[in-house]
Homo-oligomer: A and B are copies of this chain.
Amino acid sequence: MVYRRTHQVVKRLAARRSAILAAARDAAAEGGMAAVQIAPVAVRANVAAGTVYRYFPSKAELISELIAEVSRDELAAIRRAADAAPGPSSALAAAVTTVAVHVLSQRKLAWGILAEPVDVDVSVSRLANRREISGEIAARIDAAVRAGHLPAQDTALAATALLGALHEALVGPLAPENLDDPARLRDAVQTVTLLALRAVGVMDARARGLVVQAVLPAKALVGA
């Protein structure tokens, strides 16, 4: 053989792969999953349509990786926030707030990742990622239950319901309008977090305190 991949080439290939993924992400953030089409993505990434297929075997695979990437980031943020909290209830509040803030910071992208149309192959991948996030929330609820802060309950169902409430209230089509205004945004996050905590059984008064605690550190993320 008279050709072998040089380190430089390997790096360029990796960069190109990232560029394609980033282009897909941008497209999704702008126009939802429907806007993630091979030709436009290729243009954004400065490659030809055919090149995309040298990096991803199919569009479904590309979208799956995109979803996995975004979900990974979100899960890590949730864990970080929750682990930094002083107790199980605070951790739950922090987790919920983190989801709310994340989802708000990229509404269109979140919508695409969470709910928009996709074919079956993608659904499988998406489902796995959502399960992980839901599982994380469920674990936090469970911890609070075991600590005696919450009544016993079906934590998996509760976690799913909480995520549904957050998503619908914040990024769904019925979500409030002016969420670009930081003050409104904070209000929305607080309101929804309060609802979520009460839903799993935190007393109203206590919930209000937890919300305030949780929203403070989360503010830093809003810019991100």
List the B side residues contacting A163 at CB < 8 Å. 168, 174
Answer whether A175 and B191 are a contact pair too, CB < 8 Å, given A117-B117, A198-B200.
no
Q: Is A105 an interface residue (CB 8 A)?
A: no
Binary B-proximity of A112-136 (CB < 8 A = 1, otherwise 0): 0001110000010011001100100
User: Closest approach, in angstroms, between the C-beta of A18 and any C-beta of chain B?
Assistant: 28
Q: Is A167 an interface residue (CB 8 A)?
A: yes
User: Closest approach, in angstroms, between the C-beta of A115 and any C-beta of chain B?
Assistant: 5
Is the Cβ of B161 less than 8 Å from the Cβ of A166?
Answer: yes
Number of copies of this kind of chain in the complex: 2
Distance in angstroms between the alpha carbons of A196 and B192 in the assembled complex: 12
Distance in angstroms between the alpha carbons of A39 and B174 in the assembled complex: 32
Is the Cβ of B196 less than 8 Å from the Cβ of A198?
Answer: no
Interface magnitude class on chain A:
35 or more
Q: Is A49 an interface residue (CB 8 A)?
A: no
Looking at chain A's contact residues, is the secondary structure mostly helix, strand, loop, or mixed? helix
List the B side residues contacting A168 at CB < 8 Å. 160-161, 163-165, 167-168
Is the Cβ of B192 less than 8 Å from the Cβ of A157?
Answer: yes
Distance in angstroms between the alpha carbons of A160 and B156 in the assembled complex: 21
30 A-B residue pairs with CB within 8 Å: A116-B117, A117-B117, A123-B173, A127-B174, A134-B174, A151-B204, A156-B176, A157-B169, A157-B188, A157-B191, A157-B192, A158-B195, A160-B168, A160-B169, A160-B172, A160-B175, A161-B166, A161-B169, A161-B192, A161-B195, A162-B165, A163-B168, A163-B174, A164-B168, A165-B165, A165-B168, A167-B168, A195-B200, A196-B199, A198-B200
- A sample of 19 more A-B contacts (CB under 8 A), given A157-B188, A157-B192, is A34-B117, A131-B174, A151-B204, A156-B176, A158-B191, A161-B165, A161-B169, A161-B192, A162-B165, A163-B168, A164-B165, A164-B166, A164-B168, A165-B199, A195-B199, A195-B200, A198-B199, A199-B199, A201-B204
